[in-house]
Amino acid sequence: MAGAKTHPVSPLAPAALPELPELAGIELGAIEAGVRYKGRPDLMMMRFAQGTSVAGVFTRSKCPSAPVDWCRSILGKGNARALLVNSGNANAFTGKAGAAAAKTTAIAAAKLVGCKADAVFLASTGVIGEVLPAEKVTAALPRLATTLKADRWAEAARAIMTTDTFPKAAVRRSEIDGKPVTIVGIAKGSGMIAPDMATMLAFVATDATIPEAVLQALLAKGADRSFNAITVDGDTSTSDTLLAFATGKGVTHKPVTRLTDSHLKTFRADFEALLIALAQLVVKDGEGARKFVEITVSGAQSAPAARRIALSIANSPLVKTAIAGADANWGRIVMAVGKAGEKADRDKLSIKMGGRLVAEKGAVHPRHDEAAATAHFKSSEILIEVDVGVGTGSATVWTCDLTHGYIDINADYRS
């Protein structure tokens, strides 16, 4: 049963949550609804001021969860007024009963907020195949709704955890046309390597005024370079959900009308940096992870080709176990490049580990220093760079190692 076993905090966890500032236009909170876990908050709610715009990016799974179906159906219909998230039950693969349960909770939240149900966004993660017990959520909601406050981000970050070993949040102080704006994000994910826990949720909010179309473009582009760059499993769970909310209740700034507005440049960079920070936190809580790995592929035919090669390396169990064992086994990287299915010139291929050339022009580098490579593979942050010698496309992805801890957790998850 989820949560029956607790695992030690990841050695890659940050020392503490950053301080999470209040955002004008957002009140939030968490409560114990008893959906599945006992003795901890498992239901989180955010209430947004009128006029809050919303954008979303969802799993590409062909078997999405009921809350994902719900969010997709209401996105673009108007403003967001609330977000309701439970942990412990993914409400995925639950058929019509699951869809009805999701709708019931949205209607109940809408009544409390005083809005239509289609302004209430939903997310659920946890066990697949069990209908969400909507009555537990609706019973807990009234009390939750009366306790929402602007300073509860940390509680919210904790309430959405499932097998996560630490809460995840990030903050960016940014500006639009010289006016200060703030972005706060929280995420959960026990590693993209655990897609059946319905994996990854992230919620990002800002007090800036960003029209829906621009927010959606920001989010889609940002997701590509962050959450979609932390291994292929990431876009394949049944529940992956990334939502962004812009309340427009902070300091008034020059209006934003399109993604390419020059006064949006700094905000755009900060927004993307925040998404990358959140995505990296998810990797750092990867099940059994003991090492954080950055993989950059260059010289590919295109950026998407580079990313596919990088993900082929990042997803290879043989590369991941080599890293776990501090074995600087570059032959496995060659193998992963070869299997990616993208164009690569074997006889121009070069590989660096920790910044040092290991292989070049399709063969081991004459001055390859195996001891140095091994020393680098013993550290907790690993850097692998590969140039495949056919073009100018490049991409960076992040992953973690594959250890006995992963087997421990996943060979004994429900029982």
Residues that bind a second copy (CB under 8 A): 59-64, 90, 92-95, 97-98, 127-131, 193-196, 233, 236-238, 317-318, 321-322, 324-327, 329-332, 334-335, 337-344, 346-347, 349, 359, 361-364, 374, 402-404, 406-407, 410-415
Q: Is 398 helix (H, G, I), strand (E, B) or coil?
A: strand
- With respect to a second copy, which residue has the nearer C-beta, 191 or 248? 191
Q: Name the minimum Å distance from CB 214 to a second copy.
A: 30
Q: Name the minimum Å distance from CB 240 to a second copy.
A: 11
- With respect to a second copy, which residue has the nearer C-beta, 52 or 190? 190
Q: Name the minimum Å distance from CB 176 to a second copy.
A: 38
- How far from 197 is each of 257, 264, 376, 404, CA to CA, in Å? 38, 36, 32, 19
Give the gyration radius of the chain's Cα atoms. 22
- With respect to a second copy, which residue has the nearer C-beta, 218 or 322? 322
Beginning with the edge strand found earlier in the chain, give each strand of the sheet holding 393-400 in spatial order.
Answer: 363-364, 356-360, 350-353, 381-387, 292-300, 393-400
- With respect to a second copy, which residue has the nearer C-beta, 145 or 295? 295
Q: What is the DSSP string of 53-64?
A: EEEEEE---SS-
Beta bridge partners of 243: 56, 203
Find out whether 393 and 308 touch, Cβ atoms under 8 Å: no
- With respect to a second copy, which residue has the nearer C-beta, 93 or 166? 93
**Catalytic, out of 199, 209, 238, 399:** 199
Helices (H), 11-79: 66-74
Q: Which residue type sits at 325? A: G
The residue to which tokens 């990042």 are assigned:
314
Q: What's phi and psi for 335, nearest 5 deg?
A: -55, -45
Q: Based on the number of CB atoms within 10 Å of its own CB, is 46 exposed (0-12), middle (13-18) or buried (19 or more)?
A: buried
Q: Name the minimum Å distance from CB 43 to a second copy.
A: 21
Q: What's phi and psi for 15, nearest 5 deg?
A: -60, -35
Cα–Cα distance, 160 to 203 (Å, whole number): 11
Identify whether 105 is a catalytic site residue: no
Token pair in block for residue 184: 């706060």
Q: Name the minimum Å distance from CB 292 to a second copy.
A: 17
- With respect to a second copy, which residue has the nearer C-beta, 32 or 196? 196
Using alpha carbons, select from 325, 295, 291 the residue that is nearest to residue 313. Answer: 295
Q: Name the minimum Å distance from CB 198 to a second copy.
A: 8
The residues annotated as belonging to the active site are 199
